[in-house]
Structure 1
Amino acid sequence: MSISIDWFAFVQVFLAALLATVLVVGFYSLGLRLLVRAGRVPVVAPAEFTDAITVVTEKEQKRAAKAAAKAAKKNPLTPAERQIAAIGAYLSFGLCGLAVLGGLLLIVFNH
């Protein structure tokens, strides 16, 4: 019994995974950056778990929300530029989702 490895197929899978990772992370980070520039800083209250190492207090949550609101007020962009940045952010998130969907379609229909 002899085991044969198709190295070309291995390289293809490696490059596809690397490209998909770069696309998803790149579009997501670009979307977050544009969302912040648009003045819509995503503030997410952390979930409290029973086995959490660090618990964020309500005071810290309020401080983070206040800092985000203050940063949004300091935005030097005009309202039109903020709108363009928000649209760019949502388009970037959409492209991120399309990259994930494309990978899933490749997995499901290309075997």
Structure 2
Amino acid sequence: MNVVIDWFAFLQVFAAALIGAAAIVTFYALGLRLLVRSGRAPVVSPAEFTDAITVITEKELKRAEKQAAKAARKSPLTEGQKSLALVGAYGCFALCAAAVVSGILLLVIGH
């Protein structure tokens, strides 16, 4: 029995996976950056977990919300620029979702 490996196909899959992962991470990071620039910094409230995970206290949460509100007030952007940044952030998140869904569909349907 002779096993033959199609190295070109292997390189195609490797390149597609690398480019796809880089695109998803890039658009997600850009979306977060634009979300912060629009004045809507994501602040996560504390959750109850086991002792293995460090959770912020209510005091730390209030301080983070206060800092986010202060940063939003100090933004040099106009309201139009903020709304444009928000639209851009949502667009980046939509591109991330589209990339993930297209990858899943490629595996399920293209298989």
What is the TM-score normalised by the length of structure 1?
0.93
Residue 102 of structure 1 and its aligned partner are, at CA, apart by: 1.0
Greater relative contact order (CA < 8 Å, ≥ 6 in sequence): 1
Residue 58 of structure 1 and its aligned partner are, at CA, apart by: 1.2
Percent of residue pairs bearing the same amino acid type: 63
Q: Which residue in 2 is equivalent to 1:5? A: 5
Assess if the C-alpha contact under 8 Å between 2:46 and 2:57 holds in 1: no
Residue 52 of structure 1 and its aligned partner are, at CA, apart by: 2.8
Consecutive unaligned residues of structure 1, counting only runs of 5 or more, are none
What is the number of equivalent residue pairs in this alignment? Answer: 111
Q: Which residue in 1 is equivalent to 2:33? A: 33
What is the CA–CA distance in structure 1 between the aligned matches of 2:67 and 2:14, rounded to whole Å? 42
Q: CA RMSD in A?
A: 1.2
Amino acid at match of 2:31: G
4+ runs deviating over 4 angstroms: none
Q: Which moved more, 1:7-16 or 1:45-54?
A: 45-54
Residue 61 of structure 1 and its aligned partner are, at CA, apart by: 1.0
Match of 1:71, SS?
helix
Consecutive unaligned residues of structure 2, counting only runs of 5 or more, are none
Q: Which residue in 1 is equivalent to 2:61? A: 61
What is the CA–CA distance in structure 1 between the aligned matches of 2:46 and 2:18, rounded to whole Å? 31
Match of 1:36, SS?
helix
Match of 2:51, SS?
coil
